[in-house]
Amino acid sequence: MQFGDLFIQFLSGLTRGMVLFLLASGLSLIFGALRVVNFSHGSFYMLAAFVAYSVVQYFSQFPSGNFWLALLIAPLVIAALGWLVETLLFRRVYRRDASYQLLLTYGLVLIGSDTVKLIWGEAYRSIKRPTALAWSFAVFDRPFPAYDAFLILVAAALGLGLWVLLYRTKLGQIIRAVVHDRYMVSAMGVNVPALYSLVFALGCWLAAFAGGLYAPMGSIGLDMDINIIVECFAVVVVGGLGSISGALLGALIIGEVYAFGILVMPRAALAMIFIVMIVVLILRPHGLLGTAER
C-alpha cells in the first residue's frame, strides 16, 4: 500500500475522530459539571440526525440550503429537549445513588428508540451532502471528499470555541468552579440548578451537532445511538472522563485505531478499540489526561 492510500486512511480516521470528539466533549462536559454518566447521550445524537432528516425533507424546495437549515435547527431542538429532560428528570437524581442515574439514562435510551419508531418508523433514512461540498479534491493523487474536510474543520473550530468558553470567559470559570464546590458557588449567588440545565443543554447541543454533521455520511437508523455511544465511552475512558482535552486525544486515538484496524483486520476493527481501552485502564485507570477522583 502506497503512502497516499495510508494518508487518506489517516484523514478518514481523523474525520471519524472529530465526530467522536464533539460527542465525547458533550459527555465529558456533562459528567464534569453534573457528575452524571449519561448513557442516553447517544440517543440525543440519533434524534438530531432524524430531526435533521425531517428538516431537509420539509424544506426540499430549497435544495441548496435545506441541509444548512437542518444543521442549525436540529441541534437547537435537541438542546431544548436536553434542557427539559434535565429540569424534569435528572434534577431528581443528582443526590441519589448512581444506580438511579444509570436506570434513568437507560430508560431514556429505550424512550428515544421508541420515539424514533413512532415518528419515523424503522426504515433507514439518508441525507444528501450539500451541493457546495459534494465534490472531492486530490491529496497525494488520491480523492478525498470535500465534506469530510469541512467536517474536520468545523469540529476543530467548535472544539476551540468550547475551550475559549471554558477557560476564557466568566461563564466558563463558574462552570469549572461548580465542578469543585457547588455549595460555595451557590453561596456566591449563582443559580446552580439553572447552570446545570445550561451545561446539560450545551452537552446535548454538541451531541446533536455531531449527529447532524455525520448524517450525510451514512444511513440514519435506530442503531445509531448504541453504535456511537459504545465508541464514545471508549473515547472518554481512554482520554479521561470529565476532560475536554482528554476527549480530543481519546477521539483521535480511537478514530485512527478504527480506521487502520479496518485495513489490518476488518472484522476485528471494533475489537481493537476495546483492546486500546483495556490497556489504558490497566496502565492509567483514570485516562491519559484525566485526574484521579479524590
Q: Is residue 80 part of a domain?
A: yes
Q: Is residue 276 part of a domain?
A: no
Q: Is residue 27 part of a domain?
A: yes
- Locate cell 445513588: which residue? 97
Q: Is residue 289 part of a domain?
A: no
Q: Is residue 165 part of a domain?
A: yes
Averaged over 121-142, what is the pLDDT? 92
- Binned at pLDDT 50, 70 and 90, residue 291 comes out as confident
Q: Is residue 106 part of a domain?
A: yes
Domain count along the chain: 1
- Render pLDDT for 134-189 as a digit per residue (tens, 0 to 9): 999 999 999 999 999 999 999 999 999 999 999 999 999 999 998 888 888 888 89
- Render pLDDT for 197-212 as a digit per residue (tens, 0 to 9): 999 999 999 999 999 9
Query: In the prediction, which pLDDT does 87 show?
Result: 95
Query: In the prediction, which pLDDT does 160 show?
Result: 96
Cβ(50)–Cβ(220) under 8 Å?
yes
Cβ(238)–Cβ(23) under 8 Å?
no
- Domain extent for 173: 9-221
Q: Is residue 182 part of a domain?
A: yes
Averaged over 41-67, what is the pLDDT? 91
- Binned at pLDDT 50, 70 and 90, residue 263 comes out as confident
Q: Is residue 55 part of a domain?
A: yes
Chain center to CA of 79: 13
Q: Tell me how far apart the terminal alpha carbons of the chain are, to the nearest angstrom.
A: 48
Query: In the prediction, which pLDDT does 2 show?
Result: 85
| Cα distance between residue 189 and residue 219, in whole Å | 47
- Binned at pLDDT 50, 70 and 90, residue 11 comes out as very high
